[in-house]
Amino acid sequence: MRPAARRGRRRARTSSPPLSATQIRWLGALLVCAQLPQAPHLPLWVAAFGLLLVGLRLALLRRDRARPDAPPARIPSWTLVLFAIAAALAVRASYGYLLGRDPSVAFLYILVGIKFLETRTVRDGSLLVALASFLLVTPFFTSQSPLSALAVLPALLVLGATLDVLARPPGHASERRPPQALARAGALVLQGIPIAALLFVLFPRIGAPLWGVPGETGAQTGLSDTMAPGTISELSLSDAVAFRVDFDAPPPPPVQRYWRGPVLSRFDGQAWSLMPRPGTGNLTPWSAGGVSYEVTLEPHGKPWLFALDLPASLPRPAGDDAPASADAGFAFLARDQQLIARTPVTQVIRYAQRSMLRDAYPQADAEEAREYLRLPLRGNPRTTEFARELRARHAGDRELVGAILAWFRAEAFVYTLTPPLLDRDPVDAFLFDTRRGFCEHYASAFVVMMRAAGIPARVVTGYQGGEVNPRGGYLIVRQSDAHAWAEVIVDGAWQRVDPTGAVAPSRIEIGLSQAVAAGEPVPLFARLDAGWIKNVQLAFDALNHEWRRNVVGFNRDRQRELWRDLSIDRYAGWQIAALAGALALAWAGVTLALAGFAQARRERAQALWGEACLRLERAGLPRMPHEGPIAYAARASRRWPQFAIAFSAIAESYAALHYGPPPARPGEHEALVATLARAVDVLPGAAQLRATAA
C-alpha cells in the first residue's frame, strides 16, 4: 500500500476523538447486556465466543490501565478481518448455510465482539451502539415470552447511559458515575414510554411479510402433513402449547373436544399424507347448541387452523365483525372440513370461530367416496384378509364398525407412548403381533381395515382434549394433546370413529397421563398430579395467555379492532397521523413541563433584584446606569438608614449570586436566593419608602 494513502486513511480514522477508558467500559457493558438475551437461542460456542471477545477487550483495557506507561494493547485490524472471515465460516459450518436469518444473527453476535476489539474512537462507539440496538430485536425471532421482553430492559437502560457517557465532550473533567448515568438513562426511557406506547398502538401493522416468507420457522413443533408410525407419539412428548381457547360459554366436556387438523387420505403402506387438491367444503349450518370461541394459535409454520369438530363458520380475525365470505377471508374450508389459512402461520394469530359439536356430517357427493377406498396393491395381507372376513360376517356398515371396535376392546391391545418399531407391513405387525401402539397406530390400522372392507375412510389428525386453566377459565391445548382418529362414510355421512377410545377410554375422557402406564415419558405439564408446580405453571400460563393475546398478538387485526373502537375509519391514514401528531405534541408539552421547564420566567435572583430596584426607583432613587449593586445599596442606605441592613443584604447576596464564583457546595446557591428573597420581603413598598424619606 502506498504510504500516502495509508496516512490519509489513518488521519480520517483518528479525526474522531478517542474513547476514554470509562466509555469503553460502558460500551462493553452494553454489548454484554445486548448479547445475553440472545445467548440462549444460539449454539453454545457462538454464545460463549461472542461474550469472550467482549471480555477480552475489557481485560486488555484493564492491563493497559495497570501499566499506564506501556504502549496500549493493539490488535492489528487485518487479524480482525481474518477473525471475521473465520467466524463466518464457522457459523456456516454450524448452521449449514450462512445467508439466512439465524446464521446472520449468530454472525452479528460475534461481529459486535470483533468490532469491539478494535473500537478506539467515539465514532466506532456510535457504530457499536447501533449494532447493539439491532441485537435487541433478534431474541424475539425465537421467543416472545414476557421473560424475553424483561431480559431486554437492562440493555435498553445501559444503551441510554452509554449514549450519555459517549456524548460527554472529550477530555471533559466530569465523567459520570454509573448510577448517575443510569438514572439519567432511566429518566429518558421513562419519558419515552408514552411515545413508545403511542407508536406501538398506532403504527400501521401489515398482514403479510415485506420480503419473502419468513420461512425459517426453525424446529417449530406441531402437526405435519404426513403421519407415519411414531409421528404423533413423538409430538406427545412435548408440553409446548399449541393454542389456547377462550370460550364464550363454559368449555364443552373433554369427550367432545376434537380439534380438527390435517385430514390424511393417502396411504402408501407406511405413511399417511394429505390429499393434494383440497377443494372447498360446505360449512355446517349454525344453530342452537353450537359453541363460539376464540383461538390464540401459536406459530407452527403450517397453514392449518384448528377448530372443534365441525366448523360452523370461517375463522374471523379477532375484532373483525364482517362475516368473512368464502373467497375473501384469510382462510377457507377444504372439502374434508379442514380449515386452511392462505399463508402459513408464522406468528401468533387470534381468530374467532364457531362450531357445532357433532361427530357426523353429510357426504358431499358420491363420487368423492371412491378416493377414500384406495389402498396400496401390496402389503399388509393379513389385515386385508381379516377385514374381508369381517365384512362377510357383518352385512351393515354400522355393524362392521362396531365389530372392529369391539374386537379392539376385547383383544389385549396396549396404549403406549413407546411402541416397538415396525418396519415391513406395519399394520399387520401391529394388529397381530405387537399390539402395542399409540393413537396413530389405532387410527391407521382402523382406516386400512375399513378400506379393505369397502367402507370409505380416512385419518383425521388434530388435538383432543386440552386442559382448562382455572385461572382465566380458558383452555390450554398442548402438543401432548395431539391425536389421530378416523372418519368413515356410513349411511351417506362422514362419521367420526375413534379407535383409541375403544382401547384406552381414559385418553379421551381425561387425558394422556391417565391413559398410559406409570413410568411412561409423559411430559411434566401433561400430568395432572404435579402438585404446586402445576399450580405455579398454570398461573404463569394465565399471564402468558394475556401476554399472547394483547401484546404479542397485537397485530393488524387487533389494531383495526382498536381503530374501530375509536371510530376511526381503518383506511383513513390521515386521521391516524393527525391523532398521533396531536398526542406526540401533548407528550412533548407534558414532558417538558414535568421536567421542570418553567424556564420562560427569569431566574429568581434576577427577578428579586429587579423587584427591589423597581421599588427604590418608584421611591425616587433610581439606579445609575454605571452603579453596581453594592454602591447602589450604599446610596440607598444613606437615604434610608433604617433599612441599611436590608439594602446591604439584598446587594451582597445578589452580587454573590450574579458575580461571585460558582457555588462550591450544593445548596449554597439556594441559600443565597433565600437570603435575597427574605431581604426583599423585609423592604417596605415604594409608597412607604417615599413617606419615610420625607
Partner 1 sequence: MTAAASHAPLAGAWSRARQRFFRHAPGDDQSVVLRHSRIYILPSRRGWTMIATIVVMLLTSLNYGLSLGFAVTFALTGLVAAALLHAFRNLAGIEIRPLAASETFAGGRVAFTLSASGGERMREAIEVRAADAAPFVADIPVGAPVTFRLERDAPMRGRLALGRVTLSSTQPTGLWRAWSYVHFPLSGIVYPQPEPGAPPLPRGLHGHDISAPGQGEESDFSGLRDYQSGDPPQRVAWKAVARGAGWYTKEFDGAGGGGPLPLEWAALPRGLDVETRLSRLTAWVLAAEHAARPFALRIPGATLPVGQDRDHRRTALTMLALFSPERAP
Residues 202-261, interacting with partner 1 (CB under 8 A): 203, 205-206, 209-211, 214
Tell which one of 66, 70, 600, 694 touches partner 1 (CB under 8 A).
Answer: 600
Coil, strand or helix: which one is 286? coil
Cβ proximity to partner 1, 42 vs 163, nearer residue: 163
* Longest CA–CA separation in the chain, Å: 136
Coil, strand or helix: which one is 332? strand
Helices (H) and strands (E) in the chain, counts: 25, 18
Count of residues that interact with partner 1, criterion CB under 8 A: 79
Tell which one of 130, 249, 322, 395 touches partner 1 (CB under 8 A).
Answer: 130
Of the candidate spans 59-67, 131-139, 224-232, 625-633, the one that interacts with partner 1 by CB under 8 A turns out to be: 131-139
Of the candidate spans 354-362, 379-387, 536-544, 600-608, the one that interacts with partner 1 by CB under 8 A turns out to be: 600-608
Tell which one of 6, 67, 172, 409 touches partner 1 (CB under 8 A).
Answer: 172
Convert 172-218 into a string of H (helix), E (strand) and C (coil): CCCCCCHHHHHHHHHHHHHHHHHHHHHHHHHCCCCCCCCCCCCCCCC
Judged by CB under 8 A, the chain residues 646 through 685 that form the site for partner 1 are 657-658, 660-663, 669, 672-673
**β-strands 436-437, 414-415: how paired?**
parallel
Of the candidate spans 189-197, 281-289, 513-521, 532-540, the one that interacts with partner 1 by CB under 8 A turns out to be: 189-197
Tell which one of 21, 48, 59, 127 touches partner 1 (CB under 8 A).
Answer: 127
Long-range pairs of 63-66 with CB within 8 A, sequence gap ≥ 24: 64/21, 65/21
Cβ proximity to partner 1, 14 vs 688, nearer residue: 14
Check if the beta carbon of residue 253 is closer than 8 Å to that of residue 449. no
Of the candidate spans 39-47, 185-193, 377-385, 466-474, the one that interacts with partner 1 by CB under 8 A turns out to be: 185-193
Minimum Å gap between C-beta 159 and partner 1 is: 7
Minimum Å gap between C-beta 9 and partner 1 is: 19
Distance in angstroms (rounded) separating the CA atoms of residues 498 and 656: 93
Distance in angstroms (rounded) separating the CA atoms of residues 191 and 216: 37
Check if the beta carbon of residue 450 is closer than 8 Å to that of residue 405. no
Tell which one of 20, 22, 148, 292 touches partner 1 (CB under 8 A).
Answer: 148
Task: State yes or no: is 268 an active-site residue.
Answer: no
**Nearest CA-CA partner of 332 in 267, 287, 371, 277:** 277
Minimum Å gap between C-beta 560 and partner 1 is: 15
Distance in angstroms (rounded) separating the CA atoms of residues 173 and 492: 89
Task: State yes or no: is 439 an active-site residue.
Answer: yes
Task: State yes or no: is 483 an active-site residue.
Answer: yes
Minimum Å gap between C-beta 85 and partner 1 is: 24
Tell which one of 164, 320, 359, 520 touches partner 1 (CB under 8 A).
Answer: 164
DSSP-derived secondary structure letter, 520: S
Cβ proximity to partner 1, 194 vs 472, nearer residue: 194
Q: How far is CA 592 from CA 164, 522, 596, 601, in A?
A: 19, 58, 7, 15
Tell which one of 45, 55, 94, 140 touches partner 1 (CB under 8 A).
Answer: 140
**Nearest CA-CA partner of 684 in 635, 650, 654, 634:** 650
**Nearest CA-CA partner of 649 in 629, 679, 677:** 679
Cβ proximity to partner 1, 85 vs 187, nearer residue: 187
Judged by CB under 8 A, the chain residues 95 through 114 that form the site for partner 1 are 101
Tell which one of 75, 90, 183, 195 touches partner 1 (CB under 8 A).
Answer: 195
Judged by CB under 8 A, the chain residues 334 through 353 that form the site for partner 1 are 346-348
Tell which one of 111, 112, 159, 295 touches partner 1 (CB under 8 A).
Answer: 159
Judged by CB under 8 A, the chain residues 576 through 595 that form the site for partner 1 are 584, 587-588, 591-592, 595
Q: How far is CA 16 from CA 23, 77, 78, 125, 381, in A?
A: 14, 17, 21, 10, 81
Check if the beta carbon of residue 487 is closer than 8 Å to that of residue 497. yes
Judged by CB under 8 A, the chain residues 346 through 385 that form the site for partner 1 are 346-348
Minimum Å gap between C-beta 685 and partner 1 is: 27
Cβ proximity to partner 1, 174 vs 287, nearer residue: 174
Distance in angstroms (rounded) separating the CA atoms of residues 612 and 683: 8
Judged by CB under 8 A, the chain residues 448 through 507 that form the site for partner 1 are none
Neighbours of 176 (CB within 10 A): 17
Minimum Å gap between C-beta 284 and partner 1 is: 31
**Nearest CA-CA partner of 453 in 496, 409, 378, 398:** 398
Which residue out of 41, 300, 441, 483 is catalytically annotated? 483
Distance in angstroms (rounded) separating the CA atoms of residues 286 and 355: 8
Convert 264-277 into a string of H (helix), E (strand) and C (coil): EEEECCCCEEECCC
Of the candidate spans 66-74, 89-97, 198-206, 235-243, the one that interacts with partner 1 by CB under 8 A turns out to be: 198-206
Which residue out of 102, 498, 541, 557 is catalytically annotated? 498
Minimum Å gap between C-beta 527 and partner 1 is: 31
Tell which one of 188, 275, 543, 630 touches partner 1 (CB under 8 A).
Answer: 188
Minimum Å gap between C-beta 139 and partner 1 is: 9
Tell which one of 32, 91, 114, 166 touches partner 1 (CB under 8 A).
Answer: 166
Of the candidate spans 184-192, 279-287, 422-430, 487-495, the one that interacts with partner 1 by CB under 8 A turns out to be: 184-192
Minimum Å gap between C-beta 23 and partner 1 is: 11
Minimum Å gap between C-beta 136 and partner 1 is: 5
Cβ proximity to partner 1, 208 vs 694, nearer residue: 208
What sign does the dihedral 408-410-411-416 (CA atoms) show?
Answer: positive
Cβ proximity to partner 1, 369 vs 543, nearer residue: 543
Please classify residue 634 by burial: count the beta carbons closer than 10 Å to its beta carbon, then call 0-12 exposed, 13-18 middle and 19+ buried: middle
Query: CB-based contacts of 32: which residues, under 8 Å, 6+ apart?
Result: 51, 54
**Nearest CA-CA partner of 294 in 323, 317, 270:** 317
Tell which one of 95, 141, 407, 540 touches partner 1 (CB under 8 A).
Answer: 141
Minimum Å gap between C-beta 198 and partner 1 is: 8
Judged by CB under 8 A, the chain residues 604 through 633 that form the site for partner 1 are 604-605
Minimum Å gap between C-beta 647 and partner 1 is: 21
Distance in angstroms (rounded) separating the CA atoms of residues 127 and 120: 11
Query: CB-based contacts of 94: which residues, under 8 Å, 6+ apart?
Result: 43, 45, 46, 103, 106
Alpha-helical segments (H) within 516-572: 532-547, 556-565
Question: Per-residue contact track with partner 1, 517 to 556, x per CB under 8 A?
Answer: ----------------------------------xxxxx-
Give percent helix, percent strand, percent coil of the chain, each to the nearest 5.
50, 10, 35
Which residue out of 102, 309, 397, 439 is catalytically annotated? 439
Cβ proximity to partner 1, 163 vs 526, nearer residue: 163
135-151 residues labelled b (16+ CB within 10 A) or e (exposed): bbebbbeeebbbebbeb
Tell which one of 96, 599, 626, 694 touches partner 1 (CB under 8 A).
Answer: 599
Catalytic residue numbers? 439, 483, 498
